[in-house]
Chains A and B, each alone.
Chain A
Amino acid sequence: MTSIFGPYVAREPGSGEYLQIGFHPNLFPLQERWRNNGLSADFLAGYVSTFFPGDEPGENGRQIEVKDAVSFIANELLENSMKYSAAVAHGIVTIEVFLEMDAVSIYATNSVAREVIKPFQDYIGVLLTEDPNTLYLECLERNAEEDTDDASGLGFLTMLNDYEVTLAWKFDAGGTQPTVTTMAHLTV
């Protein structure tokens, strides 16, 4: 059973210019795995940025902006995916980056525990309907007040608030192992 939230765009496997990396989080402890999130995100960002040169020869401002943005977004998506997949036996994580003339779309897919699905979908409903500016500050104030670390929520809110990313999700809850795919679409 598939559920879509937000303006999710499905991609045909193997179509267009794309990169895909797959992980099996349970093969290594999450602590050891964590460092690879940054390496993977920086690799994807470096690769993608070469396709967006500056408007003038020698001008690399646009490349630096794209690289910086993709690095943050991919890192956040991977951190979320690793965290949630690690809680599932034999969990999987994949990250895919699709390139267009003026946009980058990043898809992170991870296994997700069935009991997490409903609260996550409820939260997505809030993200898609309420003002991200307001939600962002409320999240920071609440985390300080309660001394908590709602990093997943803050990651999405930072993407929406600071990078003007379009977010969407696809849940595949059928079968023995439910998965969720987060799509982050960035205009460059």
Chain B
Amino acid sequence: MNISHEDYSVNYDESSGLIQCEGSFRLRGSEEYKPILDLLLGAADAAPDHLTLDLRELKFLNSSGINTLSKFIIQVRKQPATKVLIRGSTEHPWQGKSLKNFQRLLPALELVIE
């Protein structure tokens, strides 16, 4: 499953449980984020063994985007058997500041920033 836009892309490989977000997320509110949220919630509701959210190529995330990813984390939280890994990059300083908040929502979440 794939969402492709001039400024960003979201790719979901159901077989591997890998969701890759790339580019810049500066969408305007929940209405514009709905396709991305629907993709994420679909992945969560499938209740796979593993889900990996790869944000290493996500250069920018506005607060509406933080809200969207948080809704995904909170939805995954309802599937205790699903292990979640978020991968980030030190190339984008915002990730070192903001991604740890997702661990506060879901303490079992593994966060790797390198």
Contacts and interface: CB of A to CB of B under 8 A. Distances in A.
Given A68-B92, A68-B94, A162-B101, A149 B26 contact: no
A163 B63 CA distance: 13
Interface of B: 24, 26, 28-30, 60, 62-64, 66-67, 70-71, 74-75, 92-94, 97-98, 101, 104-105
Contacts of A31: 28
Nearest to B64: A151
Q: Which 9 A-B pairs have the closest CB atoms?
A: A149-B30, A155-B63, A162-B97, A68-B93, A144-B74, A154-B63, A140-B70, A151-B64, A144-B71
A35 B27 CA distance: 9
B63 A158 contact: yes
Contacts, number: 75
A81 interface: no
* Most chain B Cβ neighbours within 10 Å, of A141, A150, A158: A158
A75 B67 contact: no
Q: Which of B28, B30, B75, B92 has the most CB of A within 10 A?
A: B28
Contact of A149 (B60, B64, B94, B97): B64
B104 A137 contact: yes
23 contacts: A35-B26, A38-B60, A64-B93, A69-B94, A72-B60, A75-B26, A75-B60, A75-B62, A137-B101, A140-B105, A141-B74, A143-B71, A144-B70, A144-B71, A144-B74, A147-B30, A151-B63, A151-B64, A154-B64, A154-B67, A158-B66, A161-B101, A162-B97
Contacts of B28: 30-31, 34, 79
A30 B93 CA distance: 29
Given A65-B93, A137-B105, A163-B97, A143 B63 contact: no
Nearest to A30: B28
Interface of A: 30-31, 34-35, 37-38, 64-65, 68-69, 71-72, 75-76, 79, 136-137, 140-141, 143-144, 147-151, 154-155, 158, 161-163
